[in-house]
Chain A
Amino acid sequence: MIRLEGLQVQVGSFELRDINLQVPQGGYALIIGPTGSGKTTLLEAVAGNARLRAGRIYMHGVEVTALPPEQRGLGFVYQQYHLFPHLSVRENIAYGIRRQGRNGRGFRERVEELAGMLAITPLLDRPVRGLSGGEQQRVALARALAPKPSILLLDEPFAAVDPASRQVLRRELRELHQREGITTLQVTHDFDEALRLGDVVAVLAEGRVVQSGTPEQVFRYPNSAFVARFVGSGNVIAGVVERTEPDGPGRTFRGRFRGEHLTLDVVAEREGSIHAVIRPEDIVLSRTSHPDSARNHIEGMVARLERLGPITQVHLDVGRPLIASVTTASAEEMDLRSGMRVILAVKTTAILLV
């Protein structure tokens, strides 16, 4: 278990503030955020390599804020791997296995076991110079896991690996995580990775956690236009909401959203400046209009089609660009083609206001 309470870290002119995050025992958490949002600094702080200005770090319920890195019992895989160039692959992996274990048989077996799991047994007696990116990645992972850490920190572990190896490594990492039961905290700028790997995800922007939750929650209910855009929740439209029904007892009310050439009926919680988020799969396309009060109907034109296997993304022009996604089968049934005029129907309740 990792718990971060009110962390504040200063590195040069960059500041990480009010970081609160909890990763459950054996959980897999991802920190996502654009380049320069402070992700690596956050990992360094958890590892004990960055000095804290404020805040506390707990691991398995014990405060480790003042402990040096070597006493925190964690493994750290860096983005650039940083294998020890003067040691062989085997010596790199064995580096962190403590001395009392070095003489015993467990030491050799541990190295062989990890090498087997990560398919690098043939490399064991090679120098690290000349290894490919993917091979270095596996050695770095084996090295971090060898001392059986209870916590694993991963900094963009797949950034320097080709896409084919990335998929394999991702799967292996997930399996390793389950087998070894290690509480894992990974940093990435790729939300796709978070969706595939994470139990918990925290979005970092300019040194702050702007949203955290399960990947599904963050994706479906982004709490800001920034998060919605960053995780690719859907179309993000800036505008203003005004109330269209008199004050009622509930927290929500019917309103009208206006912005970027669009006027939409919405269910809102507050008036004023706001962003509307419309997920591509919540836009229903048809050739003719069937008006009803629960839906917005917008006229638009198909700009182009992008087939992604069973799903087709329809790029529309409604005075501003919008993206809808339909099954490829229904796209063909409707005979969608660019230049065609269509009616977009969006449920008032499907429009998320943030």
Chain B
Amino acid sequence: MAAHSLGSRVVLAGLGACLVLFVVGPLLRLLFEASPAGLAQALRDPELRDSIVLTLFTATLATLLAALLGIPLAYLLARRAFPGRRIVQGLIDLPVVIPHPVAGIALLLFLGRRSAVGGTLANLGLEFVSHVPGIIAAMLFVSAPILVSGAREAFQTVDPQLERVARTLGDTAWSAFRRVTLPLAGRGILAGAILAWARSISEFGSIVILTYNPKVASIYIFDRFTAFGLKAAVPAAVILLLIALTVFILVRLLQPSEQR
């Protein structure tokens, strides 16, 4: 940008500061609301502990599933020109623009016992509605786009010619991918996976429709708030915020410095 006058710089900085304060202010307020004693007290509640463990477990499983199914797709989207690539790309990004309760209702219709898919799976012993797999399904739905786009961008930063060089040096297609592309895209993919994991942990809107019980942390907090009021919800909210902050810092550390 060109040089600005002192006045315009003050205006720009002022506007930016307003937004930064608006984001940081409530979070700081929340952090200072909880006393260490209150947090310790809250953590003694087995229901909260269970909900945190359940959240971490389901989010991890959803992320692993998203990685297993999404990384090959991300590679195809980044490297191969195939008919319908743009359509697949659009479909994968779709969940980002769908309101989460809408996603929850769609998943409920698709995976409920009365649908063909849900009924068949239920007969095989895999129940979604009001069961743990429902949580994982909702998390996968909302977080997979994040992992796929993160991995796709990571693959796009790797020069495709490097794999061709590896091939001439005796690598099969798979080992060229494993020895060259994967290590070079690894940080980007991991950052995408952590973001997807964080997105799963923060999910509420679709899980609340699909599986209210057993409760993940976000539903537990909502439940405390509606049943016992603000004071009862704060310690759990702070704990979830701390988990989210940890993830956030991890992702920042993984990103190359120029993108930070």
Contacts and interface: CB of A to CB of B under 8 A. Distances in A.
Interface in A138-184: 143-144, 147, 153
A82 B180 CA distance: 11
Majority secondary structure of chain B interface residues (helix, strand, loop or mixed): helix
Pick from B161, B166, B170, B172 the residue with the most CB of A within 10 Å: B170
B224 interface: no
Contacts of B161: 78, 80, 82
A85 B184 contact: yes
A94 to B, nearest CB: 10
Contacts, number: 54
Contacts of A84: 162, 165-166, 180
B183 interface: yes
Contacts of B166: 84, 95
Interface in A59-102: 68-70, 72, 74-76, 78, 80, 82, 84-86, 95-96, 98
B171 interface: yes
B184 A86 contact: yes
Contacts of B164: 44, 47, 49, 69
SS of A interface (majority): loop
Given A82-B159, A82-B161, A84-B162, A49 B167 contact: yes
B169 interface: yes
Interface string B158-201: 01011011111111110000011001100000000000000000
A87 to B, nearest CB: 9
A69 B184 CA distance: 22
A85 B159 CA distance: 10
B167 A95 contact: no
Contact of B171 (A70, A76, A85, A153): A70
A156 B32 CA distance: 65
Interface residues of B, number: 17
B174 to A, nearest CB: 11
Interface centre among B159, B166, B169, B172 (most CB of A within 10 A): B169
A96 B170 contact: yes
Interface residues of A, number: 24
Nearest to B180: A84
A70 B168 CA distance: 5
A47 B166 CA distance: 12
Nearest to B167: A69
Contacts of A85: 184
A72 to B, nearest CB: 8
Contact of B169 (A49, A80, A96, A153): A96
A68 B167 contact: yes
B172 A76 contact: no
Most buried by A among B159, B162, B167, B183: B167
B172 A70 contact: yes
A74 B184 contact: no
Contacts of A74: 168
A81 to B, nearest CB: 9
Contact of A78 (B165, B170, B172, B179): B165
A147 B168 CA distance: 10
A303 to B, nearest CB: 47
24 contacts: A47-B167, A49-B167, A49-B168, A68-B167, A68-B173, A69-B164, A69-B167, A70-B167, A70-B169, A70-B171, A72-B168, A76-B165, A78-B165, A82-B165, A85-B184, A86-B180, A86-B184, A95-B169, A95-B179, A96-B168, A96-B170, A144-B168, A147-B170, A153-B168
Interface of A: 44, 47-49, 68-70, 72, 74-76, 78, 80, 82, 84-86, 95-96, 98, 143-144, 147, 153
Q: Which 5 A-B pairs have the closest CB atoms?
A: A96-B169, A69-B167, A76-B168, A82-B165, A70-B170
